[in-house]
Amino acid sequence: MQRIAALTSGGDAPGMNAALRAVAKVAAAGNIDVIGVEQGYEGLVDGRFVDLTVRAGPDRVRSTRQVDAAGGLGGTILGSSRSERFLHAEHRRSAAEGLRAAGVDGLVVVGGNGSAAGASVFAELFPVVVVPASIDNDIGCTRYALGVDTALNTIVDACDRISDTARAHKRVFIVEVMGRQSGYLAMSSAVAAAADAMLIPERHRTESELLDSVEGVVRTSFERDRDKRRVLIIKAEGVPYPTTRLTRDVAARVAEDLPDVEVRATVLGHLVRGGSPTFRDRMIAGRLGLAAVSALVEGASDEMIAWEPAIEGGIPTRDPSVQRFPLAHVLADTEALLDGSSPVTQRRVKMTEAIEGVLAL
């Protein structure tokens, strides 16, 4: 293998740049050139390539200065986008021809479940492996995706700050966090931030049930024999009850009995996506990047590199924490995560139910 391409696709996630740096450095150590593809699959169709390594001699390759400096940056230096054109076979064929014309022998895709689906189809035309990156942690076959740890640290820090002002004014804050169909960020951050309740889509509760539950938490928290001045409720964006409306409805329910309690909403939104990756995200990115390059060199394709998978069926690597899974297996497990049939999702729901009464104490 003489040249590898790498791209970042879908929603950006802290750790993507660290993965690009790892791919470039590992490949350079093996005398393999690396080019980056700008703007994800859209750039792949257009052939928008940039060098991530430079050749200093017949047997000497080194990463570029931009790549060296990028590992600690959030976002992605290559850019990312969603591509409608890549859904069509003729554009995928054009992308594969463009890679071959550029002398590329294999492709590393850093992205989430949509990116993995695109890579699986593209693997019919060109060797490709995937490094999972998504703050939502909604990708099958891997315990963590890049960006999850950074996002959780950002959420917890924001909730600590919100709690400070909540205690000063005796307020209830309903904080919405990202996650699409997955409640992982809400569930994990609720425990870490000592929230009083969490609302996740996996429990499939009706608006009436959600409103009753939140009202009950507020009333219990502000009982007369309790010296409590803040209530923090973390809500996943995938819960189908708009946060601002939920906040108004709760406020209306408790206004007469708790006139001195204010109910506020905070939507963290894309704040959660940004920021420099944590040590954990940088470390995982390095190890997944190493395994991705090694997989391509060994002739692998149509696979994802997974971190500490919770299911069996993976292909071992030299790293005991890293395994490779066929993309078909990954996509099936991802669908199970999202539709609730996965044992991982079911375990998360049971854990949520078990600690529900503890959080409000």
Identify the domain containing residue 28 by its residue range. Answer: 3-147+277-339
Domain count, the chain: 2
In a domain, 56, yes or no: yes
Phi (first) and psi of residue 269, to 5 degrees = 55, -140
Domain membership of residue 350 (yes or no) is no
Q: Band of the pLDDT at 351, cuts 50, 70, 90? A: confident
Strands 230-236, 197-199: parallel, antiparallel or unpaired by DSSP? Answer: parallel
Task: Please state the pTM of the whole predicted model.
Answer: 0.94
* Domain match, 224 and 300 both: no
347 assigned to some structural domain: no
Inside any domain, residue 344: no
How many Å apart are CA 211 and CA 233, to the nearest integer? 12
138 is catalytic: no
pLDDT for res 265: 96
Q: Indicate whether 143 and 292 sit together in one domain.
A: yes
244 and 155 assigned to the same domain: yes
Mark whether 191 and 62 lie in a shared domain.
Answer: no
DSSP string, 291-337: HHHHHHHTT--SEEEEES-SSS-PEE-SSTTEEEEEHHHHHHHHHHH
In whole angstroms, give the CA distance from residue 190 to residue 249: 22
Indicate if 115 and 172 belong to the same structural domain.
no
Reported as a single tens digit per residue, the pLDDT across 123-178 is 999 999 999 999 999 999 999 999 999 999 999 999 999 999 998 988 999 999 99
- Report the pLDDT value the prediction gives residue 357, as an integer from 0 to 100: 67
In terms of domains, do 132 and 162 share one? no
**Among the options 12, 136, 138, 196, which is catalytic?**
136
Residues 242 and 299 grouped into a single domain: no
Average pLDDT over residues 230-241: 95
How much is the mean pLDDT over the chain?
94
Q: Are residues 142 and 7 in the same domain?
A: yes
